Amino acid sequence: MVFNARTDLAELRALRGGLDSNAAPFYDPAHVLDSALRIVKSNSGLIDEVEKWALYEQIVVAAYDTGDVTTGNSYLDQILAKFPPKDSSRSSRLLGLQFESTGQFDKAVEVYEAALAKDESNIGLHKRIITALRAQGRKQEAIEGLVRYLDVFMSDIEGWLELSSLYLGELMYQQAAFCLEEVILLRPSNHLYHLRYADILFSFGQVELALKHYCRALELCTDNVRAFYGIRTSILALASKNDKGRGTQVDVETRDSLKKLAEEQLSSLYAKAGKDAATINTILKAWIQERA
Amino acid sequence: MPSVHLGQKAYAKIVLHAAKYSVVSVAGLLLGTKDGAGHLTVDDAVPLFHNVLPLSPMLEVALQQVDVYCKQTDCSIVGYYFAHELLTDTSITPFTAKVASKIDDALGGDSLLLVINNKELSSDKVAVLPYSLESGSWKVQPSSSLDVSDIAVKKVGELVKHKAYEKLVDFDNHLDDIKCNWLNPAVNQLLAT
């Protein structure tokens, strides 16, 4: 594996940008720990003093996530020395994480609550209390806490998505769908949320509405493979439920042309994917044929 | 339950999938053959999703496409694997049970459900727990019923150390970029060396 400081630094910055940004790469703590450590130890002048502390913070979190408590503690000590927790909510959050890393969740929550008493609108602290519940498998309490949190911080996308996934864990599809509705209201032009909403709707039988949202996702992101698959799967589900198009808003012609569109576009995209995808392309062709 | 042989390729892909997405749940399919006495040989695995949610549309597509592949290569979907996001959780979620039962039905019984024992992933022991469908519910089987070679476990441990999981792709990756081949030829090649 080739070490490229600039690429790694760009990835680390994207991760700090938060979940709401489309560009955020998947969080692999081992990789983050590795690349961040290399950058801070290299003294290459790529980062300034401010970014150094941000990287230290990423190192602490990633170290605890991989179970490397020693590294986490050593970088945390440096952060706490420079930014004492009694004056900093951000440091308090990390101090709480230290307790979580050794399974002392009650102590962690004490730290978060004490810091919240001085800084009650700190979103990070509120969320850590909820994730501490989730980390202990206390799902019902996590749901209740998150619902209370969202009553106040109702424009927190990450919060709504987290609640949605907690609801799905309990198979509460309707509630999960509601969360996605809130997210879509806040970010109507993000195709990913329409896709997730459609997947949820389909999963509890709202196939027509799912179809509409797959189409909307496609409008927002042309050539979106998930949208094409969603459209075709929905059309087939509608056909098996209701052959003559009675009682549905989507007539047979529209259904047929949408199915054809999805199949043609998928075929074309897969064909263009190149020789590495040759086996997969063969599978796709046969798959389409099975329910042509 | 008759014994099950879990091949190196299958075991590798399961563990690499869990290692790549260490902070969320993962799930995938087991491919292989079933003999007349119900003994399974699991030759391969197809990693499906990470951050597994009980959503059906993409799962349906994945099952259908893997089925097509099986018909083309004369094997079957013989089971399902799943890893929880929390370290110590090895429970069977209702959704996992539902998918595994559907697979069992299609196979005509004797399918295998593997729950990854997350705690054992960094050890040199076999990190999966075998379950079998008995009277409508999934029951854990003795680890002796699962045959995984020591060489395979060792090889897979080395692959994880060398971050081979970065080469592994699942169906989720494929849906985001169709050039990602969920048959994982790159990983197959690593195992062949």
Alpha-carbon torsion (B62, B68, B72, B75), positive or negative: positive
Residues of A in contact with B175 (CB under 8 A): 225-226, 229
Residues of B in contact with A290 (CB under 8 A): 64, 68
pLDDT < 50 regions, chain A = 1, 243-245
Q: Tell whether A10 lies on the interface with B, counting CB pairs under 8 A.
A: no
User: How many A-B residue pairs are in contact by the CB < 8 A criterion?
Assistant: 89
Give the tens place of pLDDT for each residue, B40-75: 999 999 999 999 999 999 999 999 999 999 999 999
Q: Which two tokens stand for residue A159?
A: 């919060």
Which pLDDT score is estimated for B83?
Answer: 97
Q: Which of B58, B61, B181 sits opposite A280 (nearest CB)?
A: B181
Cβ separation B51–A165 shorter than 8 A: yes
Q: Tell whether B51 lies on the interface with A, counting CB pairs under 8 A.
A: yes
Q: Tell whether A153 lies on the interface with B, counting CB pairs under 8 A.
A: no
Min Cα separation B41/chain A (Å): 23
Q: Tell whether B124 lies on the interface with A, counting CB pairs under 8 A.
A: no
Cβ separation B179–A30 shorter than 8 A: no
Which pLDDT score is estimated for A245?
Answer: 46
A-chain residue closest to B160, CA distance = A30
Q: Which residue, among A131, A203, A207, would best test binding to B if mutated, counting the most B CBs under 10 Å from its CB?
A: A203
d(CA B131, CA B112): 6
Cβ separation B55–A168 shorter than 8 A: yes
Which pLDDT score is estimated for A6?
Answer: 84
Min Cα separation A28/chain B (Å): 7
Answer whether residue B11 shows pLDDT above 90: yes
Sheet holding B146-147, edge to edge: B137-140, B128-134, B112-116, B76-83, B26-34, B40-50, B4-6, B146-147
Q: How far is the CA of A53 from the CAs of A11, A83, A252, in angstroms?
A: 16, 10, 60
Give the tens place of pLDDT for each residue, B137-161: 999 999 999 999 999 999 999 999 9
Which pLDDT score is estimated for A20?
Answer: 55
Residue B152's region, left for phi above 0, alpha for psi from -120 to 50, else beta, is alpha
Helix axis angle, A278-290 to B57-73, nearest 10°: 110
Amino acid at position B91, single letter: S
Contacts of B60 (CB under 8 A, 6+ apart): A233
Q: Which of A1, A135, A279 sits opposite B181 (nearest CB)?
A: A279
ipTM greater than 0.90, yes or no? yes
Q: What is the pTM of this model?
A: 0.93
Q: What percent of chain B lies above the pLDDT cut of 70? A: 99
Q: Tell whether B166 lies on the interface with A, counting CB pairs under 8 A.
A: yes
d(CA A272, CA B127): 39
Residue B116, beta-bridge partner list: B128
Cβ separation A168–B21 shorter than 8 A: no
Averaged over B66-94, what is the pLDDT? 95
Which pLDDT score is estimated for A4?
Answer: 80
Which pLDDT score is estimated for A8?
Answer: 86
Terminal Cα-to-Cα distance of chain B (whole angstroms): 34
Min Cα separation B112/chain A (Å): 23
d(CA A285, CA A282): 5
Which pLDDT score is estimated for A189?
Answer: 95
Cβ separation A287–B21 shorter than 8 A: no
A-chain residue closest to B163, CA distance = A1
Helix (H, G, I), strand (E, B) or coil at B66: helix
Asked whether the beta carbons of B54 and A177 are under 8 A apart, the reply is: no
CA atoms within a 13 Å half-sphere pointing along the CA-CB vector of B1: 26
Min Cα separation B170/chain A (Å): 13
Q: Tell whether B163 lies on the interface with A, counting CB pairs under 8 A.
A: yes
Which pLDDT score is estimated for A25?
Answer: 67
Cβ separation B57–A198 shorter than 8 A: yes
Q: Which residue, among B17, B21, B22, would best test binding to A if mutated, counting the most A CBs under 10 Å from its CB?
A: B22
Residues of B in contact with A66 (CB under 8 A): 22
How many other CB atoms sit within 10 Å of the CB of residue B46? 24
Which pLDDT score is estimated for A240?
Answer: 82
d(CA B131, CA B124): 21
CA atoms within a 13 Å half-sphere pointing along the CA-CB vector of A65: 21
Q: Tell whether B182 lies on the interface with A, counting CB pairs under 8 A.
A: yes
Cβ separation A277–B181 shorter than 8 A: yes
Which pLDDT score is estimated for B81?
Answer: 98
Q: Tell whether A3 lies on the interface with B, counting CB pairs under 8 A.
A: no
Which pLDDT score is estimated for A277?
Answer: 84
Q: Tell whether A202 lies on the interface with B, counting CB pairs under 8 A.
A: yes
